Structure 1
Amino acid sequence: MGMEIQDGRKQLMEEAKNFVNTKVGGRPLRYFMRGTVGHGEDVAFWLDTWLLDEPLKTAFPDLISKEADKRVSVADRFISQSSDGRYSWSWNSDLSDSILRSRLEQLIGLLDSVILATGKARWKWTSALDGSFSVKAVKKLLNGDQVQEKCFVLDWCNWIPAKVNIHVWRLEMNKVLTAEALRKRNVGIRDTTCPLCHSEDESADHLFIGCFIASTVWSGVSSWCNIPNIFALSIRDLLSFYKDLGLSEKKRDAVQGIIMITCWSVWRARNNVKFSNSSVRIESIISEIKTLSFLWFSNRSRYKGLDWKD
């Protein structure tokens, strides 16, 4: 439920603290919170979004570099409310440069339209017509930006455990700690080859797609599901493979989850080889995939009561 923010910047920023570094259309999410200054004492002149659709520090970076008090409030920069537009400035050096003087005149031209009032600042969420801030409004804004940028959005599979969904989600973002990912994090490891095939360096694309063991597993899974051989060039292609098969809704849901479970089982097999000195057996991996898929789909999906022959 939406909530209009009326208690100033502190309360609104507390609501949106998890989105401070998020950008929408190239603009930081916090720029969508704009204030009407009121008496101007609780609005930062340079740092808050109040006069433009961005803070003045962003619009006038050359001027703020000369500012002696970068956290000064709006009220402290206004001497009077008279029409002669007199303002109080505190520069750390003279603005002798003609370009800086011209920029200051531009800023003053904007400030001349500002009239301070009584009362505290009122903060509004500019992407909503009524100015209300809500999690739903933020989500809508972020989802719209993702569609515009054609970002990959992982479809959550409801009948497999959350740990498997999260593993695949991290896998798509290249957050699974393969040898390549560890090396990018400056973690020193002696052997970077794939623990399953020992033929190439271990990256996410190799381990889950290009590795001989993984490709054989995918072939076995495809045969079991009676679908075309699962082939992909990237993790995103792999996770979207089920969408283009023209399957019934029931089978599409099943194949989506089975692909995710296969990624989970391949990762488990990799860890057993690397940390428990176990030998890799393709038939064991496929057997685990079939067992987990049947167990979870028949008990956790909306198609409960499935027989093994189904």
Structure 2
Amino acid sequence: MVKDLCEQRGGTWNWNFSWRRNLFQWEEGIVTRLQELVDPVILSSEEDRWWWRPDPDGEFTVNSSYKFLMGESWLGEELEVDAAWIFGQLWESPAPSKVIAFSWQLLYDRIPTRRNLEVRGILGRDTPWECLGCVGMVESSLHLFLHCPSAMMVWYEMFRWLGVIIVIPPSLFLLFEVMRGSAKNVKMQKGFVMIWHATIWSLWKARNNSMFSNVSFTPKTIVDDIKVLSWKWSITRLKVSPSMFYEWSWDPGDCLLR
């Protein structure tokens, strides 16, 4: 404890360092520098407590830590207004936290795609670098989740399922904005964002199953998985009346309006 290194003299607290052995000569210089650092600190008789610096009141909250990480993880680059808004909306979803966190990492391009692993020198020269959903293209985040023909088929089917006609946009940010903006009200917005997360998560799981378990990367199977997963989330996480799976498969928008 810090208080064990102090003693009170004449109403003031002073540092009193004690060591279990005699210091080596080179250590004495380190202690001197330490003393110079701590001497300006004014000690009080109040009980020590933790203080969370990112919050003005010193209290740790998930909200303050999220804002802190948002500022730090962009490595000094400022977010565009639209991108910053989307990052804020990303968490307004009933999807599981680990799934939202993955989507957050994806938009920052911080997931372990083959392209990112290659850039970091983790993949060897003989390691395959191609996307598992097509042939001849590097597996980058944008390609795997958006521009790969298999991924595009999944997204087209998702929007058709939601009753929305779409031309695939050039970025995942715009894709998120289009899906969220297609909803008729706040209830549907939460549901559509949840389905967006379910699609991202299912594409990643399908990629991993194909890579590690030799399971075919098939758009139809991925679409079916998304419908099942989003239906399960809708039952346990959405504040709407539960629906049967056949109802959800037929018209999720109607189920979200209940």
TM-score in same-fold range (> 0.5)? yes
Which residue pairs with 2:27 in the alignment? none
Between the aligned partners of 1:177 and 1:287, the Cα distance in structure 2 is: 25
| Corresponding position of 1:304 | 241
Deviations 1:173-209 (A, max 9, x none): 3232110121133212411110110231001111001
Task: Find out whether 1:285 has 2:222 as its counterpart.
Answer: yes
1:203-254 deviations in whole A, cap 9, x for unaligned? Answer: 1111001111101111111100012326333333333333433521222111
Provide the rounded CA distance (Å) in 2 between the counterparts of 1:134 and 1:251.
Answer: 34
Q: How does 1:165-180 map to 2 (within 5 A)?
A: 165-180=100-115
CA-atom RMSD in angstroms = 4.0
Residue 221 of structure 2: SS of its match in structure 1? helix
Q: Note the residue ranges of structure 2 that are not aligned, 5 or more in a row.
A: 6-10, 16-29, 72-77
Partner of 1:133: 58
SS of residue in 1 equivalent to 2:241: coil
Residue 119 of structure 2 aligns with an amino acid whose one-letter code is: K
Which of 138, 143, 160 is matched with 2:95 structurally? 160
In structure 2, how many angstroms separate the alpha carbons of the residues matched to 1:215 and 1:285? 12
Give, in whole Å, the separation in 2 of the partners of 1:162 and 1:268.
Answer: 16
AA of the residue aligned to 1:134: E
Letter in 2 for 1:164: V
Q: Do 1:40 and 1:74's aligned partners in 2 also have CA atoms closer than 8 Å?
A: no
1:97 match: none
Aligned residue in 2 for 1:111: none
Deviation at 1:304, TM superposition (A): 2.7
Quick check: 2:114–2:140 contact (8 Å CA) kept in 1?
yes
Q: Deviations over 1:128-174 (max 9, x none)?
A: 8xx8522259929946x85xx54433522543333322321222232
Using the TM superposition, give the Cα deviation of residue 117 of structure 1 relative to its aligned residue in structure 2, in angstroms. 8.2
Structure 2 residue aligned with 1:199: 136
Of 120, 125, 146, the match for 1:185: 120
Aligned equivalents of 2:209, 2:43: Cα separation in 1: 68
Deviations 1:47-77 (A, max 9, x none): xxxxxxxxxxxxxxxxxxxx99432336869
Equivalences for residues 41-52 of structure 1 within 5 A: 41=14
Counterpart pick for 1:72 among 9, 15, 35: 35
SS in 1 for 2:243: coil
1:238 and 1:231 mapped to 2: Cα distance? 7
Per-residue CA deviations over 1:79-105 (Å, capped at 9, x if unaligned) read xxxxxxxxxxxxxxxxxxxxxxxxxxx
Quickly say closer, same or farther: Cα 1:165–1:137, change in 2 above 3 A.
closer
Counterparts of 2:144 and 2:44, CA distance in 1: 61
Match of 1:223, SS? helix
Identity %: 24
TM-score by length of 2: 0.65
**1:159·1:257 contact (CA, 8 Å) conserved in 2?**
yes
CA distance in 1, matches of 2:190, 2:107: 19
Deviates more, 1:157-166 or 1:202-211: 157-166
SS in 2 for 1:133: coil
Asked if 2 retains the 8 angstrom alpha-carbon contact of 1:179 and 1:202, the reply is yes
Report which of the two structures shows the higher radius of gyration computed on alpha carbons.
1
Matched, 1:226 2:173: no
Structure 2 distance, partners of 1:298, 1:138, is: 26
SS of the equivalent of 1:153 reads: helix
